[in-house]
Chain A
Amino acid sequence: MIAPMSELLAIRYDFDVVWDFLFDPIVLEALWETMKISTLAMVGGVVLGIVLAVMRVSRNPVASTASGLYVWFWRGTPVILQLLMFFFGLKQVIDEDIFRDNWTRFRAAVVIFAFNEAAYMAEIGRAGILSVDPGQMDAAKSLGMTNLQAMRRIILPQAIRVMIPPTGNEFIALLKNTSVLFAIGIVELTNAARIQAARNFKIMELYSVAAFWYLMIVTVFSIGQAELERRFAAGERDQPQTLFSRMTRVVGASRRGEGKF
């Protein structure tokens, strides 16, 4: 389809290719792969990150230093380098079949991305913990709680509320960073489009499909994040308004026949 806009510009964009590829099994498979890796890595990263954050603020110098070193390395090197080093590099160094057979692409991707993410989450966790009023720890301790008990029951639940927006951001960044997984042979969303583009040369059309799916995931996720923020705000003065809560409120009010919402 060529739509000449004038004598200077001839626009070629094949919408048929876009529709065809949008729900192509290769794309959906790659989409699923991207989602799996992103989600598993994020969960791992959050859990490990919170542990690292608690270690970082602890009075134990060993814990604090170990955590600091971890963050320094995993935050200070590019993730693609980490992938190459710990997938190819490690397999080169460890010439054992048991290791090589079990350190699959997929597992390496999840683990390395999780380790990388944990470094960022550790900093977010630390900021979250420090944002909790010190009086909370005083009260918890005065009631006879140990540091760990206080962290788990009192400090972290409050810290998490503050951590939700930056964590959401991190997930979105991680999702998009998965495009570098091609370096270790994983076909995720961007590269599914790339492989196809190498065959029919419809670059713009195919990458539009990949872009569409990234945007879809991010949009759905953002709605979920807003709901999560609202839930964690129970007990706080300002309850955030989300699209969902606004809609339910309007529907509820109109049902009750109230004029002004």
Chain B
Amino acid sequence: MVRIEDAHKRFGELEVLRGVTTNVARGEVVVLLGASGSGKTTLLRCINHLDKLDDGRIYVDGELVGYREVKGKIVEDKESAIARKRAQIGMVFQRFNLFPHLTAIGNVIEAPMRVKKMPKAAAQELGREQLEKVGLSDKIDEHPNKLSGGQQQRVAIARALAMQPKLMLFDEPTSALDPELVGEVLDVMKELARDGMTMIVVTHEIGFAREVADRVVFMDEGVIVEDAPPRELIESPKHERTKAFLSRIL
């Protein structure tokens, strides 16, 4: 589903991705682990072209996102094409990024209506469904400022899912939440994984990784250091850097 080949990304002088290569199969749940600055968030953002690669390629379901091949050369794609491909990739952000001027259901149906041109009635149905799935049927007409952090993030997940993406990207979805609210969000994510969604999750929640992930990928200083099933990597890490990192957070 996702094929990353030798990804490089620089921010000014700082090289954040120094040649990342890996694959994610359909239905796989991959957890990206690493210290801040390791490049994991940047990698995620390059998958749906929120950040642009300087070198290397990323294919989602066989297609480049943000680029197209013209006579053997890679050129940046037209905005409408990029938007179309992005619509098939859902993203959930650390700080939720809900639209404050819209209600919960408003947030969820906005993209289906504007991007997929869904008629309002159908969109409302879809919106109610999605919000029910994340357990927020009683909050559909509330504005984000009336919701707790956990509730907001669940709305954000419903919003992303409403576009029926093939792939879901999670950028530290629980890092900004109070501890007692983390569980409700992780539950939603677990159920999503059970339903067979392809997921790439940047997180520090080791418990989640152990329970749900098919693989854990540890990144450090812009490269992948270790890539193994969760039990293996967490309990018997092979590399020094992995061991050092895990000892700090466990």
Contacts and interface: CB of A to CB of B under 8 A. Distances in A.
Are A and B direct contacts in the complex by CB distance below 8 Å?
yes
Interface of A: 133, 135-136, 138-147, 149, 153-154, 157-158, 234-237
A133 B97 CA distance: 9
A142 B48 contact: yes
A144 B50 contact: no
B97 A144 contact: no
Residue picked from A141, A144, A147, A157, most chain B C-beta under 10 Å: A144
B87 A146 contact: no
Nearest to A144: B87
B78 to A, nearest CB: 10
A237 B144 CA distance: 10
Contact of B83 (A136, A141, A157, A234): A141
B144 A235 contact: yes
Interface string B78-89: 011001101111
B111 A145 contact: yes
A143 B168 CA distance: 11
B87 A153 contact: no
A144 B83 contact: yes
B22 interface: no
A145 B145 contact: no
B91 interface: yes
Nearest to B107: A139
Closest 6 CB pairs of A and B: A144-B87, A139-B97, A143-B111, A142-B91, A135-B97, A235-B143
Given A139-B93, A235-B145, A145 B115 contact: yes
Given A158-B101, A235-B100, A144 B115 contact: yes
B95 interface: yes
B101 A143 contact: no
B163 interface: yes
A140 B110 CA distance: 9
Contact of B80 (A138, A146, A234): A146
Contacts of B95: 135
Nearest to A235: B143
Interface residues of B, number: 31
Nearest to A148: B79
B248 interface: no
B145 A146 contact: no
Interface of B: 48, 50, 79-80, 83-84, 86-91, 93, 95, 97-102, 110-111, 114-115, 143-145, 156, 159-160, 163
B93 to A, nearest CB: 6
18 contacts: A133-B97, A136-B99, A138-B93, A138-B97, A139-B91, A139-B99, A139-B156, A141-B50, A142-B48, A142-B86, A143-B90, A144-B84, A145-B83, A145-B115, A147-B79, A149-B83, A234-B143, A235-B100
Given A138-B50, A145-B111, A236 B145 contact: yes
A149 to B, nearest CB: 6
A13 B101 CA distance: 54
B149 to A, nearest CB: 14
A141 B79 CA distance: 10
Contacts of A157: 101
Given A154-B99, A158-B101, A235-B100, A143 B115 contact: yes
B182 to A, nearest CB: 20
A83 to B, nearest CB: 39
Contacts of A138: 50, 91, 93, 97
A143 B159 CA distance: 8
Given A143-B90, A236-B100, 5 more contacts: A139-B93, A139-B98, A141-B86, A143-B111, A153-B110
Contact of B89 (A133, A140, A142, A153): A142
Nearest to B142: A235
A144 B163 contact: yes
Contacts of A139: 91, 93, 97-99, 156
B74 to A, nearest CB: 19
A157 B95 CA distance: 20
A149 B48 contact: no
A140 B48 CA distance: 12
Given A142-B48, A144-B87, A136 B144 contact: no
Nearest to A147: B79
Contacts of B48: 142
